[in-house]
Amino acid sequence: MNLNRRQFAAALVTTAATSLPAPAQEPKFDVNVYRDTSKAIPVSLSGFTGEVATTLRFDLEVAGCAVVTPEQAQVLIHGTNGARLEGFVSDRAKNYLLSKAYTGANQRQLAHAFADDVIFALTQTRGIARTQVAFKVKAPNNTGEVYVADYDGHGAQAITADRTIVAAPSWGPASKWLAYTSYKLNNADIFSHNLDTGERHIVARYGGSNIGPSIAPGGRLVAMVLSKGGKPDLYVADIQGRGLQQLTHAREGVSSPCWSPDGQTICYVSSDDGPAQLYRIGSNGGTPQRIRTTGVFNATEPDWSPDGKWINFTTQRGGNFEVCIAPAAGGDVQSLATGQDATWAPNSRTLMFCKRGRGGVFSLSLLDVPTKRVKDVPLNLGNCSQPTWAR
């Protein structure tokens, strides 16, 4: 039986936040010192205990902070926790930037809420501690299911119970819909899945393969790769599979579509001109254009950052897969980590990607792009891959 979103309601708990009077006078906290995002912000944590302390540390380290001793810290984060979490943020001179109390949720959710507020106060960017991801969990017999979890791996729940091959989940806006490929009907077919109700619809069930769904911003359209014409080409349809339109007529086939954040352009992979490279095409079709990835000769598995500035992708060099980014308009490539199949967080700063371990088993890790710091996601589900971040 398929699980719906109400069955992992802990991930949806909201908190009540109340501003507290700062223990100092008018704040003089200078956040301009943290504008250099290539350096981790040295922070200290004190006063918090148990799950709150470990959750805060994880959230802040993923977001670009380094937790150090109070003597080494530029930012002092302290407080208390119980049924109510009280948190304070100050510099070493006791100038306070944040002072809030949080209630109405479990300890983990209270910690996530405070962590998001800390990051926003320091960087003026939205935190990601209360976001979710979907991903594929593969069983030893090659069957698998689509799972959803908090971004840090907690609260993981199976969304499908197909007991067959599944692939490539894609999360639609407002965290309401997923699209993915499943062999539930003995063919590679694309389904859309409403997480509120558990209902599923067949988006594409044509002869041949129906793979690589990607839901557009706004949730109205799905880009996908269908081989109904004899070779894989790029198509779009609505979330119910209606109004199917073919966009490409590739000689060698295409793969891995993803959308620009304005929903006007689709990036995809084609081998028409040699090694796999990135191309873009309008959502209504047109002439494909190559996206230059200067410094690499093959590029697969793209994902467009929510701010529109970057495309991450996978390349292979020297027998290893690497997670890379390039400007969305094309240009010089930055190699970030050994791994593949990365997905952008809503903050356009953090990536989740797959690492291949012993025996070819994949696990998920988080990458802070400016500092290139990596943290593993503590999942105990076995072979986890193909993450997609809720936005």
Taking the C-alpha atoms of residue 74 and residue 307, their distance in angstroms, rounded to an integer, is 29
Cβ density class 295-305: b for 16+ within 10 Å, e for less? ebebbbbbbbb
Examine the pLDDT at 175 and tell me if it is beyond 80: no
**Structure tokens given for 125:** 């960017």
135-170 per-position pLDDT tens digit:
999 988 889 999 999 999 999 999 999 999 999 999
Please name each of the domains of the chain with its CATH number.
Answer: 5-123 (3.30.160), 133-389 (2.120.10.30)
Examine the pLDDT at 12 and tell me if it is beyond 90: no
Length reported for the chain: 391
Q: Are 269 and 278 in contact (CB under 8 A)?
A: yes
Taking the C-alpha atoms of residue 128 and residue 366, their distance in angstroms, rounded to an integer, is 12
Q: Mean per-residue pLDDT for 286-308?
A: 96
- The number of beta carbons lying within 10 Å of the beta carbon of residue 329 is 11
What pLDDT does residue 31 have? Answer: 60
Place of tokens 């997923």: 178
Q: Mean per-residue pLDDT for 328-350?
A: 97
Residue 6 burial (C-beta neighbours within 10 Å; 0-12, 13-18, 19+): exposed
Taking the C-alpha atoms of residue 351 and residue 323, their distance in angstroms, rounded to an integer, is 9
Chain center to CA of 259:
14
Q: Mean per-residue pLDDT for 202-227?
A: 95
What pLDDT does residue 360 have? Answer: 85
Q: Are 236 and 283 in contact (CB under 8 A)?
A: yes
Residue 66 burial (C-beta neighbours within 10 Å; 0-12, 13-18, 19+): middle
Examine the pLDDT at 355 and tell me if it is beyond 60: yes
Give 340's strand partners. 354
Q: Mean per-residue pLDDT for 118-136?
A: 95
